[in-house]
Amino acid sequence: MSAFLGLVPQYPSPTLEPPPPYGGTSSQLRPLRHRRPATSLPSTYTPYPPDAPCPPNRTMVQGFEWYCPPDFQHWRRLTKIIPTLAQLGITQIWIPPACKASWKTGNGYDIYDLYDLGEFEQKGSRKTKWGGKEELQQLVAVGAQYGVSVLFDAVLNHKAAADFKEPVLARRVNPKDRWGVLDRKPTEIEAWTGYDFPGRQGMYSPLRWSARHFTGIDYDDLRKANAIWKFEGKEWAEDVDEENGNYDYLMFADIDHQHPEVKRDLFHWTWWLKSQLPQLGGLRLDAIKHYSYSFVREFLANIDRHVAPGPPGSPGTWFIVGEYWREDSEFLARYIEFMHHRLSLFDVQLVSNFSRISLASEHLQASPTGGGGGAPGITYGSRDTDLRTLFDDTLCIWKPHNAVSFVVNHDTQKGQSLETPIAPFFMPLAYSLILLRANAGVPCVFWSDLYGSFGVTSNDTPASEDAASPRDTPLPDPQHWKPPMCGGQVLPKLMLARRLWAYGTQYDYLDHPHCVGFTRTGHYSQAGGAGVACVMANWWEHASKRMYVGVEHAGEVWTDVLKFCPGEVVIDESGWGVFPVAARSVAVWVSRDAEGREGVDAFELDTDVYGFNQRQQQDQAYESQRGPAVEEEPEDWMVAARGAAAEYLAMTGSD
């Protein structure tokens, strides 16, 4: 929490008195804080010396969305597209939780058994929603073969769907202030805290979990009542986020990370996971704001000593990114420092900025004077629509080498608890910023923005994984499928531009509230030194910006890779060009003779990962073989059979 990291005074001791008269929202956690504006960024930034080789850019993809179909086929799906992802420049793929969930359709955040990767008959099936253990192992191996390391989504905060309930003494706490205990005396409740894992029968780990391994729960089965119950003799960890007073408890049965048996089992699990998936590339730690910071630091140190030893970033070490949802980048920077810079965090503030500015831009007037039929209310120059503030107070400013930038993920997509809408016109702008800039951390591309989304649907789940073979599994209804952004062809070109040309010195032109740009001069060790110029606008007028791309590019003719903006730009003898952009759009300018340009222009991503086109072709082939459906006259034997049946029914009086 802020006190633990030295940002605010220590929170008062736990008390039985009524809760203080304020809520627990994150906006009230630390009102006095240091913010860094985007203007604190240097206008010129050189990530690697121009006379020494620079490594290829890293790019992450989130390999799922919340609404992926529960067809047990996802590991196969990902394995099949690994070569394409590698071609697009993907170096890391974050996969969904691969451990057995509370039921066969669960995404895995409702975790049941860490040691079941789709191997044991538990919770309705052997496989997880995503597939079986053997398919997961194949995915990791194929990824390593193509240079795409797999990041395992580790859910270590809680457990769900216990095998049996236990009597436990507990007290209710105030959900808005978890330090506030509502019951002066403990009450006996029935808690679902017993885990025998009958399908696994002690294989891999002998630990049977019980109430002593948890700090609290949110349901009393005796009274059929929901509340947050803290178990007698247990305390919330103090070094957690202070939202809601203390945010140790999140959901289900809350794990006690200080219990020696728990700590030993979780440390052992990382070693076991490496033994099962030897080429695994790292972890994504879910919900780390809800458990002890000290435990997380110990956990990371154990990985570095016993699981994947070596200096951070060296071959064989694990890349680790944590999900800490908080719009306070100074706080997150301190958290990273407390972890000795051993993990990265997602840039929450950047996504919030994208949402705020893009949605406000939807109501920007059509001209500086307010005329032209535009929506009233927001005038040119308003801070709400100022593109110069896009990077204000972002983690990319505070800790660029420990930031993972993104535009959308499974938690922020439509219908989810952290839904953070971004205006559709702004999506290419946002992705251009995280993919092409030099100091935007490791960018993470979202599954649905590449391959589309089903959204909230009521698709049936196969009765078993045996009924879910690729040949006969009923696919989700294509009518519910929403295509990826811009038809699926803009984002891949931005990813290819990052892989090939987004290198070298960066020059920023963040000098206008509604039209900004930046350039990368290129690096001799990547794609022959070709560079890139990016300019974007959120107003209703065409614009242009004069920008420097380097004297080494003098005389080159540049065109827009995205084809949003027609025409050509000739770089003058001093290395400058005037780069136009269409209204409410982005243009990514690259030399028409740049190495790899022909392949980028011709590239088209196959977004049909669910086999809709193949299924349609099979249906059409079947119909063509059948011929036209016509009403045929019944044969003589059919007429006779029908007559005999009618006589029998008349004789017996049957209906």
Residues comprising the chain, all counted: 655
472 is catalytic: no
Q: Which of 153, 177, 248, 286 is catalytic?
A: 286
Q: Please, which residues bridge with residue 70 across strands?
A: none
Region of 47 please: left (phi>0), alpha (psi -120 to 50) or beta: alpha
Tell me which of 323, 362, 384, 601 is the catalytic residue: 323
Task: Confirm whether 449 is a catalytic residue.
Answer: no
Nearest to 563 by CA among 635, 503, 494: 494
The distance of Cα 400 from the centroid of its chain, to the nearest Å, equals 19
Q: Which residue has the tokens 């080429």?
A: 279
Question: To 5 degrees, how large is the angle CA 626–CA 627–CA 628?
Answer: 125
* CB neighbourhood size of 576 (10 A): 18
Instruction: Label each residue of 38-95 as H, E or C.
Output: HHHCCCEECCCCCCCCCCCCCCEEECCCCCCCCCCCHHHHHHHHHHHHHHCCCCEEEC
Q: Measured in whole angstroms, how far is the alpha carbon of residue 404 from the centre of its chain?
A: 10
66 CB contacts (<8 Å, ≥6 apart)? 107, 410, 411, 413, 415, 416
Question: Rounded to whole angstroms, how far apart are CA atoms 575 and 295?
Answer: 53
Separate counts of helices (H) and strands (E) for the chain: 13, 26
CA–CA dist 350, 324 (Å, integer)? 13
* DSSP codes joined into one string, 236-262: --SSS--TTS-----SSEEE-TTSHHH
The CA–CA distances, whole Å, from 218 to 77, 167, 242 equal 36, 14, 19
- CB-based burial of residue 261 (10 Å sphere; 0-12 exposed, 13-18 middle, 19+ buried)? middle
Rounded Cα gap, residues 335 and 317, in angstroms: 21
Question: Residue 190: enclosing H or E segment and its boundaries?
Answer: strand 187-194
Give residue 156's identity as a one-letter amino acid code.
L
Contacts of 628 (CB under 8 A, 6+ apart): none
3-state secondary structure 320-344: EEECCCCCCHHHHHHHHHHCCCCCE
User: Residue 276: is it exposed, middle or buried by C-beta count within 10 angstroms (0-12/13-18/19+)?
Assistant: middle
Q: What does the alpha-carbon distance between residue 157 and residue 319 come to, in Å, rounded to a whole number?
A: 20
The one-character DSSP state at 307 is I
Active site residues: 286, 323
